[in-house]
Amino acid sequence: MNFRLLPLAAAAACTCALPLAALAQTSAPQRIEITAPALQKLDQSAASGSRLGLSLRETPAAITRIDAAEIEAVGALDTQDILKLVPGVSFSAQPGSPGSVFFRGFGAASLSQLYNGISVQYDAIAARPVDAWLVDRVEALGGSSSFLNGSGAVGGSINVITKIADTHGDLNHARLALGEQRQAAFSLQRSLGAHVLRADLNTTRGTVDTMGRDREAWQVGLSWRAGFDAFGAAASHTLAVEQQHERVDQPYWGTPLLRDANNAVLGEVRVDPRTRGVNYNVVDGKYEQGVLWARSILELAFSPATSAAHTLYRYEALRDYENVETTTFVNNNTQVQRSAALLQRHNQDVTGSRGELTHRTTLAGRKSDFALGWDTSYNRQTRYPLSVAGPFDRTDPYSPTPTTFYATPGVVPGYTPGATNQLRTLALFAENRTVLAPGWALTSGLRADRIELTVLNRRTPTATNPAVFETAFKPVTGRVGLVHDLTPGWQVYAQYSTAADPPSGLLATAGFTALRDFDLTKGRQVEIGSKASFDDQRGEVSVAVYQIQRKNLSITDPNDRTRVLPVGQQSSRGVELNARWRPSATLQGGLQLAYTDAQFDDFTETVGTTVVSRAGHTPANTPAWVAGVQAACQLLPALQLSADARHVGKRYANTANTVWERGYTLLGLALQWQAAPGLNLRVRVNNATDEVYSATLGTNLVYLGAPRSVSASVDWKF
């Protein structure tokens, strides 16, 4: 597959000609608070790109950092809203796979979605959108990054970092929002001598995607700092506890696709417009999740050159599902047939410890920084599935007959355990950055994991599901990158990195069939890029060109369709551009543009009784083009108008590439008025054109994105 340089070069040229901008705060009294970050973002650090405290300029990788100010500026409700500002990322949050994120040609099973740098190793399910009120920033690292975060990071890593007690002073911040999504939130921070106490509370109510969704979350942190301890080191300790609860009543599982005269779904997806907003699930269907996080963070500074940190953490989650999940048009699209009832519970606990030591020194007279440490965790998850295939009934497409879950034939109440997965992980890691010569720096990282998996079958053993299944993996992954300063404000870099992840599925749920005699897949990436400031530092731009290859994914044996072989291969290549510009005190904006050319190089699957090759095809739900633009204009000293647009290109619904949807574009508008110092009123319209589009495509169902919505909010900082 040849690299399509012409469209990439044309896109980059067009981008450089556009008025890119970044939102920034203004200090003039009675002027609106423009909540985007300062344009020195490339000089800020990102923990998700390195353990050495490197700035974005110094990091030999494409990394995006989205701060709290930017999050407020775009009116993000949750973490998936925030991902709109990451070049090339597409996403959805359907109930069965709420962490559906696609990045650099790979889906959630091959991405790391971290929470404060911690993975619970079940990202496609556990990485549900978190209320933006709790989030301090989001960092996204493109491409293979297992050397930082462990297995699963072939396509990239996304790290959600929550607010925590800090040294920025006392704070009172309240928000009240009305509309389809209603919100009440409050944050408080107080200095208590050597201690700092912070508390954040948030609740949202409303209807999203034709279903009621209620979320409550709170977090409390207590930080303590001292100038000395028993070792003569400066010390700080933070204890943080966070709890999240979400309940979705009658979850919307998707809208059935219209079928042709041969009762098939082929070509461009077709949705009956009269079914938009219709929910076919049982009326008492539910999804519910409760999550508890607890972290103890100790930091020691032994000298300006040497420091240490340790994080002890605990994660507990309970997830419940009671739904009828599949609907299909039948009888020449005159009725909808309902099937696939699932009663499911996930009980997951993770306990972990992560420590690291950082030392800044010189080698042969050259500055050289080191970080080394360990990462260990114990992850236990028990699943309680009851699945009934159906079909159950046929109903009117526009006014479905109301039914209840436990009235569904074959569904009985009660939870019977199916399997327990126990993951024990121990990793050792090291990282170094050495200045080779003025303007030249080499960064390297290495991680060695030992992952032990035990699967306990809680039901009757069979040949393909034994009573106990044990396996172990020992991946070694790394990165080496070179950064060159062309000028103090213009860097170029090149890097090579590797990753590892399961051949199919997730280790937290994988069993004997998926992993017997299999090793982890191997991913590798080559990336070159550039980062620069321009227009007297009023603008910043980053460009990256990459190629990723993932080997040993599971495919059907062409000679025996009952067997699966770990010999498949998938690859992607593309270009990403991220830019911001503030040409004047009253005009600012930003642009993200990404082109991804993803394909299966070697992949087969079973269709009926035939094994079919999908080599050369594009993975499902992977758009070639993703673009976003934001702009803000201060019309009056206290009045700001902002707009944002996001385009997601054509996607396929299946690996056969026989079902597809053309691209869509969403427009957002907002008007913000600073009524008094610290008091802001904001009105926002999402999907202003009421575009009908699919957030996720399937061959039978599509999960439609949210229709037009209007919200109004009041923010008060006092």
CATH number of the domain to which 310 belongs: 2.40.170.20
pLDDT at residue 529 tops 90? yes
What gap in Å lies between CA 37 and CA 138, rounded to an integer?
Answer: 13
Query: Which amino acid does the sequence have at 618?
Result: T
- Please give the helix or strand (H or E) that residue 10 lies within, else none: helix 5-17
DSSP secondary-structure letter at 266? -
Q: 39-53, 374-388, 613-627: lowest mean pLDDT where?
A: 39-53
pTM of the entire predicted model: 0.90
What pLDDT does residue 208 have? 57
pLDDT at residue 207 tops 70? no
Asked if the peptide bond before residue 400 counts as cis, ω within 30 degrees of 0, the response is no
In a domain, 216, yes or no: no
Query: Which amino acid does the sequence have at 205?
Result: R
Neighbours of 441 (CB within 10 A): 24
| Span 132-148, pLDDT tens digits | 999 999 999 999 998 88
In a domain, 362, yes or no: yes
In a domain, 383, yes or no: yes
Q: Provide mean pLDDT across the span 11-19.
A: 36
Q: Provide mean pLDDT across the span 429-457.
A: 96
Residue 169's Cα: distance from chain center in Å? 31
Strand-pair category, 679-686 with 709-717: antiparallel
* Residue 418 pLDDT grade (very low, low, confident, very high; cuts 50, 70, 90): very high
In a domain, 192, yes or no: no
What pLDDT does residue 336 have? 97
pLDDT at residue 20 tops 60? no
| Span 178-202, pLDDT tens digits | 988 899 999 999 999 889 999 999 9
What pLDDT does residue 36 have? 40
* Separation in Å, CA 526 to CA 278, 494, 499: 46, 8, 12
Q: Provide mean pLDDT across the span 376-386.
A: 96
Say how many Å lie between the first and final Cα of the chain, rounded.
58
* Separation in Å, CA 704 to CA 71, 273, 287, 342: 24, 11, 18, 21
pLDDT at residue 513 tops 90? no
pLDDT at residue 62 tops 70? yes
What pLDDT does residue 29 have? 37
pLDDT at residue 35 tops 50? no
CB-based contacts of 615: which residues, under 8 Å, 6+ apart? 599, 600, 601, 602, 603
In a domain, 147, yes or no: yes
pLDDT at residue 493 tops 50? yes
Domain residues for 453?
5-25+35-164+254-717
Please provide the average confidence, as pLDDT, over all residues in the chain: 89
Q: Is 657 exposed, middle or buried (0-12, 13-18, 19+ CB in 10 A)?
A: middle
What gap in Å lies between CA 31 and CA 459, rounded to an integer?
Answer: 65
What pLDDT does residue 26 have? 33
Q: Which residue has the higher pLDDT, 240 or 72?
A: 240
In a domain, 185, yes or no: no
Q: Which of 301, 313, 314, 312 is nearest to 357 (CA)?
A: 301
pLDDT at residue 340 tops 70? yes
pLDDT at residue 24 tops 60? no
In a domain, 245, yes or no: no
* Residue 609 pLDDT grade (very low, low, confident, very high; cuts 50, 70, 90): confident
What gap in Å lies between CA 672 and CA 584, rounded to an integer?
Answer: 19
CB-based contacts of 694: which residues, under 8 Å, 6+ apart? 269, 661, 702, 703, 704, 705
Query: Which amino acid does the sequence have at 178?
Result: L
What gap in Å lies between CA 88 and CA 188, rounded to an integer?
Answer: 35
SS3 (DSSP) at 147: helix
| Span 424-442, pLDDT tens digits | 999 999 999 999 999 999 9
What gap in Å lies between CA 156 and CA 445, rounded to an integer?
Answer: 16
- H helices of 500-648, in order, are 512-515
pLDDT at residue 415 tops 70? yes
pLDDT at residue 533 tops 50? yes
* Residue 655 pLDDT grade (very low, low, confident, very high; cuts 50, 70, 90): very high
Strand-pair category, 267-268 with 659-661: parallel
* Separation in Å, CA 463 to CA 468, 517, 565: 11, 15, 18
What pLDDT does residue 6 have? 35
In a domain, 229, yes or no: no
Query: Which amino acid does the sequence have at 29?
Result: P
| Span 658-711, pLDDT tens digits | 999 999 999 999 999 999 999 999 999 999 999 999 999 999 999 999 999 999
* Residue 1 pLDDT grade (very low, low, confident, very high; cuts 50, 70, 90): very low
* Residue 98 pLDDT grade (very low, low, confident, very high; cuts 50, 70, 90): confident
Query: Which amino acid does the sequence have at 586?
Result: T
* Residue 557 pLDDT grade (very low, low, confident, very high; cuts 50, 70, 90): confident
- Helix/strand/coil (H, E, C) string of 271-283? CCHHHCCCCCCCC
Query: Which amino acid does the sequence have at 100?
Result: S
Q: Provide mean pLDDT across the span 388-416.
A: 95
Q: What percent of the chain has pLDDT over 90?
A: 75
Q: Provide mean pLDDT across the span 224-249.
A: 84
Q: Which of 664, 214, 89, 640 is nearest to 99 (CA)?
A: 89
Q: Which residue has the higher pLDDT, 519 or 586?
A: 586
pLDDT at residue 37 tops 50? no
Domain count, the chain: 1
pLDDT at residue 3 tops 70? no
Residues in the chain: 718
Q: 338-342, 606-610, 682-686: lowest mean pLDDT where?
A: 606-610
Output the CA torsion sign for 98, 103, 108, 113: negative
163-191 as b/e, with b when 16 or more CB fall inside 10 Å? bbbeeeeeeebebebebebbbebbbebee
What gap in Å lies between CA 653 and CA 648, rounded to an integer?
Answer: 14
| Span 237-294, pLDDT tens digits | 999 999 999 999 999 999 999 999 999 999 999 999 999 999 999 999 999 999 999 9
